[in-house]
Amino acid sequence: MRVTGVPVTCRGLVFIYRLDGYDVVALSRVDLDIAAGEAVALVGPSGSGKSTLLSLMAGLLRPSAGSLRVGDHDLSRAGDAELQRMRATELGVVLQGDRNLIPYLSALDNVRFAQRGVPRARRVPAMDLLETVGMSGAAARTPGELTPGGRQRLSVAVGAAVGGGLLLADEPTSQLDAEARESVVAALSAVRDRGSTVVVVTHDPGVAARFGRSVTIRDGRVGAEGRRGEDFLVVGTDGAVHLPAELLTDMPPGTLLRVRRDSGSGELRLSPAETAEVRPT
């Protein structure tokens, strides 16, 4: 049974954690378009804002400013009831480890339980979901009787059981060995092949490379994108670009850069200005 993927659009998206006495700006003006049925890996240094972005897409946090659309929902305006309905019936979240599994239910009943809020006509048969993630042979087992990779694949099926239009996964392969990691990536790809949009936060470059597109979040913004093995910088709303981390050794923040465009090829060249040419007159 195919599902209809849900598109996600962020425009100038800002999120601020308001703490006692000070604020933490976790996201500052993120612009990002994820098409229906696309698989995207969110990557970037620790603390750059990846999990915050995922939580906003899941409707668990509300934008502080800017806009965020998930399918038909405008999450900057949606009320509590709309967010709650969306979470129960339209999108699935895969948490690290087995936090979205109920330990005393079988794999099959875990999937069925996740579907309780979804209208019957829209439910994908639970057994189909287990088959999609390669777990149909373990339908009667409880999470404790599964391998760590099996548990995580069951978490993917449980996430996909809720609506299936959008699956959000936060570090789904952390603490897994190479074989288990591969099986979880295959499960996420299979969910995507059924039509779902899949967004995954990962620290693992090998996992990110398996998705069609990777988006690097740096300092709360989209800094770069990888598509089909090629890396691209992304120009921000204010015209700023993030240089790749390895160039920052030669060109630390504050470096004056000369920008030249080759008139023949149209290629842009960036070079640090010579000390003599920038000395104050």
Would you tell me which residues interact with ligand ATP (CB under 6 A)? 17, 19, 24, 26, 44, 46-52
Taking the least distance from each CB to ligand ATP, the nearer of 51 and 115 is 51
> Nearest distance from residue 214's CB to ligand ATP, in Å?
14
Taking the least distance from each CB to ligand ATP, the nearer of 48 and 152 is 48
> Nearest distance from residue 96's CB to ligand ATP, in Å?
10
Taking the least distance from each CB to ligand ATP, the nearer of 14 and 186 is 14
Taking the least distance from each CB to ligand ATP, the nearer of 5 and 49 is 49
Tokens 């794999």 -> residue: 107
Cα angle 115-121-122, degrees, rounded to a multiple of 5? 55
Sign, CA torsion 191/217/50/246: positive
44-59 residues labelled b (16+ CB within 10 A) or e (exposed): beeebbbbbbbbbbbb
Of residues 116, 122, 124, the one with CA closest to residue 194: 124
> Nearest distance from residue 38's CB to ligand ATP, in Å?
20
Q: Which amino acid is at 26?
A: A
> Nearest distance from residue 188's CB to ligand ATP, in Å?
18
Q: Which amino acid is at 89?
A: T
> Nearest distance from residue 4's CB to ligand ATP, in Å?
28
Cβ distance 163 to 91 under 8 Å? Answer: yes
Taking the least distance from each CB to ligand ATP, the nearer of 18 and 279 is 18
